[in-house]
Amino acid sequence: MRFMMLMYPQIEDDPESWGPDTESLQAMMKYNQSLSEAGVLLALDGLHAGAEGQRVAFSADGKATVTDGPFTEAKELVGGYWLVQVRSKDEAIEWAKRCPGRNCMVEVRQVQELEDFPPELQAVIDESPVSLGEHAGN
């Protein structure tokens, strides 16, 4: 099973306070190494501050509106993610608990696989030349 662990740093959305300091970066690198040495890490990335990003919101009739950061509800901003391959949700949670986080939240979400969709939706996905992204292995 694949899980995405999404990191939500509970800090101000500005580029200065966004990045980690040396100490927490070292701790994070050590954590990443432990994921890697356990053979569970598929991918990871960190994101720039929301202040440097944009939001594209859609109304009920599908009209797009672009808003520049910073975003006031900074607690809902994703700061980065890990994609892990594990045997159970509990294993993913256990890994998330080991994250050397302070003042942050790690959300554990399972990646959707083809089988998770009802048959009629699977058929739609199958017809598309673009893959779902993850027709993941178990």
Q: Does 107 bind other proteins (CB under 8 A)?
A: no
All residues at 6 or more sequence positions from 31 whose CB lies less than 8 Å from its CB, including other chains: 98, 99, 100
The window from 32-40, 48-56, 63-71, 74-82 that contacts other proteins (CB under 8 A) reads 32-40
Best CA proximity match to 3, nearest among 119, 79, 95: 95
User: Of the candidates 29, 38, 121, 123, which one interacts with other proteins according to CB under 8 A?
Assistant: 38
Residue 113 in contact with residue 3, Cβ under 8 Å? Answer: no
Q: Does 109 bind other proteins (CB under 8 A)?
A: no
User: Of the candidates 23, 39, 57, 63, which one interacts with other proteins according to CB under 8 A?
Assistant: 39
Q: Does 138 bind other proteins (CB under 8 A)?
A: yes
43/12 Cα distance (integer angstroms): 26
C-alpha neighbours within 13 Å on the C-beta side of residue 130: 2
The residues binding other proteins (CB under 8 A) are 2, 33, 36-43, 83, 85, 87-88, 90-91, 93-95, 114, 126, 128-131, 133-138
